[in-house]
Amino acid sequence: MLAFYLIANVGFFEFSSFGSIIKEVWVLLLFIMCMVVLNFIAKRNELTQRNAYKTLLFAAFSCMLFEVLRNDDVILANFFVLLAMRRVISLRSQRMTTKKIFDASLWVFVASLFYFWAVLFMVLVFAGIFLHVRQNIKYWLVPFLAFLTVLSITSCFHLYFTDSLYTFSQWFQASEFDFTAYGNPKILAPVSLLLALMIWCSFNYLGILQRASANIRASHTLIFWALVISLAVAIFAPTKNSSELFFFLAPLSVIATNYLQTLDDKWFKEMLLFLIPALPVMVWLFF
C-alpha cells in the first residue's frame, strides 16, 4: 500500500510544498489505517476466521484503483465510514448503545463533509438500530442529535475562520452519471474483476447468512448492507473515475474472505492468493 501510494503520487511529492507533503503523509497513514480498522472489525466481531485474507484482499483491491490513491477526500471519508461501521456492528453487545449510535452517526456525518454521498451510510446506522434495538424509540432519535452536533461544530469553525456560515451548497455534491472514464482499460479491467468477484462471492455469503447464529447473522447482514450502500454511493458519486469504489472494498474484502475460507481445493485457493496480490502490479505494468 505504501509503495503504490508513492508511485501514484510521485509527481505530487516532487513539486509540492513541505506543508502539502505533510498533509499527504497524514492521508497515507489514514489510508493504511483503513486496513487496520477493517482487520479490527472483522476479528472483534467474528466476521471471518483468524487469517490475513481480508487485509491482503483490501490492500490488493485498493492498489488496483490508482484514482483512489490520488483522491484524498475519498480516503478520509472511507476512514470515518469504517469507524462508523465498527460502532454499528458492535451494537450486538447491547452495551453503551446510545453512545455507539451517536458515535456511528457522528462519523458518517464527518465523512460526508469530505465526500457528500457518504451520508448514505446513515442507512447502515438505522439498519443497525433496527436489527439490535428497534424496540426503544429514543435510539432512533440519536442520529439527529449527532447531525446537529456536526452542524454546530462545522458552522462555528466556518464562522471563526471564514466569517461566514457553512451552507448546504458547500456540503452538497451533485451527482454525475457520465461513465465514459470506465472505458479506459486501466479502470475497466480492475472494476470488472471486482464486480465479478462480488457477484461470485455474494451467493456464498448469502448461504453463510442462513447458517449463522442469530447474533452473528446480524453482523453479516450489516456487512452485506454496507456493500449495497457502497454501490449506491458509487452510482451517485460526483465523479466517475473508479475512486468512488473505495467504500466498496472493505465489505467486499470480508465477503471474499468468507468465500476463500470455504474453499476445499487447496491449489485453487493458493492460486487465487498468488494472483490477487499480483493484480495491482499487472494493472500498473500493462495498462
- pTM (2 decimals)? 0.94
In 3D space, the residue among 282, 257, 283 whose CA is nearest the CA of residue 272 turns out to be: 257
Find the domain containing 184 and state its range. Answer: 2-286
CB atoms within 10 A of CB 201: 20
pLDDT in tens, 24-83: 899 999 999 999 999 999 999 989 988 899 999 999 999 999 899 999 999 999 999 999
Q: Residue 70 has which C-alpha cell? A: 490520488
pLDDT in tens, 100-118: 999 999 999 999 999 999 9
Q: Cite the DSSP H helix spans in 45-184.
A: 53-64, 66-69, 72-89, 97-114, 122-133, 138-162, 168-171
Q: Give yes or no for a contact between 143 and 125, defined as CB atoms under 8 angstroms apart.
A: yes
Q: Residue 100 has which C-alpha cell? A: 455507539
Q: Give yes or no for a contact between 52 and 230, defined as CB atoms under 8 angstroms apart.
A: no
Residue 210 to residue 192: CA distance in whole angstroms: 28
Q: How many domains does the chain have?
A: 1
Q: Give yes or no for a contact between 117 and 173, defined as CB atoms under 8 angstroms apart.
A: yes
Q: At what angle do helices 214-236 and 72-89 cross, to 10 degrees?
A: 160
